[in-house]
Structure 1
Amino acid sequence: MISAAVRPFALALFRGQADPPPVRTGRLTAPRAPRWLAVLLPFQRVHLALVADLVLAYVLFVGTLSESGSWNEESPLPVNDGLLPLPALTVALPLMLRDRLPLAAWRTVLALIPAYLFVVGALRPAEDMSMPYTMPFIVTYTLVLYSVAVRCARPITFAVWVVSVLAMWIIDSASMPIGTVVVTVTILFGYNVRIRRSATARLVEEERRTQLALGAQLVLEERARIARELHDVVAHHMSVIAIQAEAVPMKAAGDAAQLEAGLAEIRTLSLEALTELRQVLGVLRDEEGRSDTAPQPGLDRVDELVANARTTGLTVRVERSGSLDGLPPAVGLSAYRIVQESLSNAMRHAPGAAVTLALTRDGDRLRLRIANGPGTAPAGAPGAGQGLVGMRERASLLGGTFQAGPVAGGGYEVAATLPVAAAEVPS
């Protein structure tokens, strides 16, 4: 208990350290020196507040030294001339230290104040002794206290306040009340500035963390978008290529012409897959997000998907209703990918099935329905379920709805509604 009470005083008087000086802003900083003058200067940028402290220290030093000399000449009991600089050092040296070392500046005042009071008390005229402190000393001590309150922790600041009040009581109890008011107001003002600076620093740090978190979120969203695109492209084309590679030899039955035609079809599908992959990965190669690849696919290319699906053995019937032209790029791409993924799922899980693809434009809504019956061949291995997640995310990003699930008779149905007038969403 006692050590906890004594510790702030030990820190204030001996071991404590102040916070580092605040970061200098351009508002209080002199401009850089010209290049030809920079070689003559020890520094190229000067903080104006530090210059003001040095100028004030010089003015107070010269003024106090001159005043002490005048008093010594008029005093009936002059002191040794070697003691005359002591009051001047007491008011000037702490000002030179307070910017970098505020606690050291305060300790310097405490160390020099006995010599200051001795010389001033011996030389100062009796009519001026109503208060033992001169105006330069009051200015210096007030500025030093302000620096301590701004740059030191609360326990140290409190200890400095207590020591200052006790010192005033010991030196001159008559001037203690007004001195206590001056010291208290100065320390409270400095401490309030410290709190505001701390709050501002915390706010800046929170804003920095928020920006970092936002940047990380954008990166994750971009990764998810790219992963979704890659999944749709690879899953569809690889499914078609795999089924074709298995079916072509069986259909050819040794016929070289049919085998060659089937392999050409596989090559065409592979080139289409590579083209779409280049479109997706093009944005990764462009630092500014631009890409000179072809536009992303839309519903105008649904017939290509249908043709690819039919080559794998699916029977696809397409139903169109309403005008499908003029769709926003984000809506067209999302609709294309949903149809692509749905047909890929039908190829893998219901080979040879009959599929109904319905595209309906209903005012400001685009409705998609892809339904397939049971397959006529064994289904492939189940996937990881990322396709359904991707389709649901695409619909959700546009403010639409998505539903998928089995239907009676062993088939499966995917239904999505996309707002045509939705705000443009990055694909």
Structure 2
Amino acid sequence: MISAVMNPLALALFRGEADPPPPRSRRLSPAVPGRLQVIAPFQRFDLVLVADLLLAWILFATASGEVVTGYASAGESYWEGLPYLAALAIAAPVVLRDRWPLAAWRTAVVLLPFSIHVGITIKSPGGMPYTAGATIMYLLVLYSVSVRCDRRITFATWVVTVLALWIIHPDSVALGTVMVTVAVVFGYNVRVRRTATARLVEEERRTQVAEGAQAVLAERSRIARELHDVVAHHMSVIAIQAEAVPLKAEGDPAQLEAGLAEIRALSLEAIAELRQVLGVLRDQDGRIDTAPLPGLDRIDDLVAHARAAGLAVLLKRPGSLDGLPPAVGVSAYRIVQESLSNAMRHAPGATVAVDIARDDRDLRLRVANGPGVSPGGAPGAGHGLVGMRERSTLLGGVLEAGPTPGGGFQVTARLPIAGTEETG
């Protein structure tokens, strides 16, 4: 209990520190005119500091004059430096309050006997030993402490002030306490408002950073999906072709050359798509590669590659696939591409049925393969299925994938056409 009382007092009187001053608004710190910037040691005027210096000078001159007048009217002699020391006790805390508010309050407390001496000398109205200058000074200092210091320090300064009022002049405790409390509460409310504003600004900054990071992750995810689809499909076809061509050629140079030419064409196509996906990453100016992404208009090439790799692909589609939004066309192409790539890897030589249907609202896809004629590769990490589901979800569609009773695998997807944004 004692430490809970003594710690705030120790902070206020000895160990505590105030927060750094907040940055000035442009309204309170106008720029120095161009002609004066050559000789001025600063670039902006601090109007708060200027006002404090002006007020301190007025209080200093007023207080020193009051001491001289008071002693003269009483016909008493005094030390020549007394008026200036008493005036300094009132003016110095005003000069310090903006940069060092807690030091200003401590200075006011230490020099309190001299400021009280001024009030006694000039015989203030009502017999109170507080002049108008001393009152203004102390209320300004308390306000600065309340705005810039921890609430424990603020409360300790309030307690010390009320005790001092009671000791110095008990008859004025009520009025003095009200004035001091108003200054402290007003300053504390300003501090709370500034703190809340600073926290709000920080939260907005963090939100912007988080949104930026989320956008980066989304873009990376999109690029990763595109790379996975391109590499998985083309590399699977190239690998199967490279393995099958020597077996088909059986020493025939013409057939071997034709097979190698087909592998070369597939490699060039893969490189072209990779360049298109990575174009935006290479562009220093942030420009986007505007080459069109593949859509269902290239479904025949996709089926031809799969057949060349050994799959028996049966394609069923409507007479026209025109008018599809680019995003739907790209997603549908990638879903069919990934499904055929999975069939090549896990069910070599299988029969694959590709059914494409559409109406005014939806595009429906079904890619189903039977068991392969030879053992397939080991299961992968599953990124292909994740990417297909993400593509469908982003468009507001649904994708289902899983094994069939006959030992095959089936992928079905429904992609909305109506209301889909017309962007690729």
User: TM-score, normalization: structure 1?
Assistant: 0.95
Deviation at residue 425 of structure 1 after TM alignment: 8.7
Moved more, 180-189 or 61-70: 61-70
Q: Give the match for residue 340 of structure 2.
A: 343
Letter in 2 for 1:24: R
CA distance 1:382–1:426, change in 2 (3 Å): farther
Match of 1:257 among 237, 254, 259: 254
Match of 1:398 among 395, 400, 404: 395
**Secondary structure of residue in 2 paired with 1:84:** helix
**Where do residues 7-406 of structure 1 align in structure 2 (5 Å cutoff)?**
7-34=7-34, 36-122=35-121, 124-125=122-123, 128=125, 130-287=127-284, 289-292=286-289, 294-321=291-318, 323-406=320-403
**Secondary structure of residue in 1 paired with 2:316:** strand
**Secondary structure of residue in 2 paired with 1:296:** coil
Q: What is the distance in 2 between the residues matched to 1:363 and 1:282?
A: 34
Q: Is the 8 A contact 1:282 1:293 kept in 2?
A: no
Q: Is the 8 A contact 2:360 2:418 kept in 1?
A: no
1:123-158 CA-to-partner distances (Å, cap 9, x unmatched) read x14x73532111111111110000011111111111
Q: What is the distance in 2 between the residues matched to 1:95 and 1:143?
A: 7
Q: What is the distance in 2 between the residues matched to 1:90 and 1:227?
A: 71
User: TM-score, normalization: structure 2?
Assistant: 0.95
Q: Work out the percentage of aligned pairs sharing the same amino acid.
A: 64
Deviation at residue 293 of structure 1 after TM alignment: 5.1
CA distance 1:275–1:6, change in 2 (3 Å): same
Q: Is the 8 A contact 1:354 1:372 kept in 2?
A: yes
Aligned length: 424
**Over aligned residue pairs, what C-alpha RMSD do you find?**
1.8
Q: Is the 8 A contact 1:318 1:356 kept in 2?
A: yes
Q: What is the distance in 1 between the residues matched to 2:180 and 2:368?
A: 84
Q: What is the distance in 2 between the residues matched to 1:372 and 1:345?
A: 10
Q: Is the 8 A contact 2:89 2:115 kept in 1?
A: yes
**Secondary structure of residue in 1 paired with 2:287:** coil
Deviation at residue 69 of structure 1 after TM alignment: 2.9
**Secondary structure of residue in 2 paired with 1:380:** coil
**Secondary structure of residue in 2 paired with 1:330:** helix
Letter in 2 for 1:239: S
Deviation at residue 331 of structure 1 after TM alignment: 0.8
Moved over 4 A (4+): none
Letter in 2 for 1:235: A
**Secondary structure of residue in 2 paired with 1:359:** strand
Moved more, 355-364 or 207-216: 207-216
Letter in 2 for 1:245: A
Moved more, 230-239 or 315-324: 315-324
Letter in 2 for 1:170: I
Q: Is the 8 A contact 2:353 2:367 kept in 1?
A: yes
Deviation at residue 26 of structure 1 after TM alignment: 2.1
Q: What is the distance in 2 between the residues matched to 1:94 and 1:119?
A: 16
